[in-house]
Amino acid sequence: MASKNLTFDPDAGVPYAANLTIYGGSNFSATYNVTDTSNASFDFSGSNAVGIATTTGWTGSAQMSKSVAVGATLGVTTTFTVGFTSAAGGVFNISLGSTDTNNLTQGRYVYNVLVSSGATIYNIVNGNILVYSGISSAP
């Protein structure tokens, strides 16, 4: 399980870069510990998150797609489950089950994680994923 610390500045418009590794046939999870620009936990639970007013909190989505040559169309390969494990503490994770990772072809992929507050969507993190196929399976 990967754990990444990142600073989120909604005004910057630049996602944090984080590369990941997935092993086919195993459960995958990556946890992100998010702070704001003053190094305090980013509050995804309510209206005091860096002055962004929300009454419903934040939602998240994450996808990955096969990395291909320049100019080719990238289609979504799979969608991660996104969960705010401590919304007030700025912690969320993305995950895939072993069935999902088993269906991935070995190679290089790209991914991103989007978070939204109301109608505003932020690309909070993106990067590369290396997928390694399993060479054996559990009995």
* Burial class of residue 35, CB neighbours in 10 A (0-12, 13-18, 19+): middle
Give the bridge partners for 60, in sequence order.
115
pLDDT, average across residues 76-105: 90
C-alpha 33: how far from chain center: 11
pLDDT confidence of 139, banded at 50, 70, 90?
Answer: low
Contact between 94 and 30 (Cβ < 8 Å):
yes
Determine, yes or no, domain membership for 73.
yes
Q: Does this model's pTM top 0.95? A: no
Determine, yes or no, domain membership for 138.
no
Tell me which residue range forms the domain holding 9.
2-132
Beta strand 91-96 with 2-7 is: unpaired
Does residue 52 carry a pLDDT above 60?
no
Question: CATH number of the domain that 94 lies in?
Answer: 2.60.40
Determine, yes or no, domain membership for 51.
yes
Determine, yes or no, domain membership for 75.
yes
Does residue 70 carry a pLDDT above 70?
no
Determine, yes or no, domain membership for 50.
yes
Alpha carbon distances (Å) from 32 to 58, 61, 115: 15, 13, 12
Contact between 32 and 139 (Cβ < 8 Å):
no
The Cα 105–Cα 114 span in angstroms is: 24
pLDDT, average across residues 6-13: 87
Give me the number of domains the chain comprises: 1
pLDDT of residue 3: 87
Determine, yes or no, domain membership for 139.
no
Q: What is the pLDDT of residues 23-50, one digit of tens each?
A: 999 999 999 999 988 888 888 876 544 4
Q: In the chain, how many H helices and how many E strands? A: 1, 9
Beta strand 120-132 with 16-17 is: parallel
pLDDT of residue 119: 81
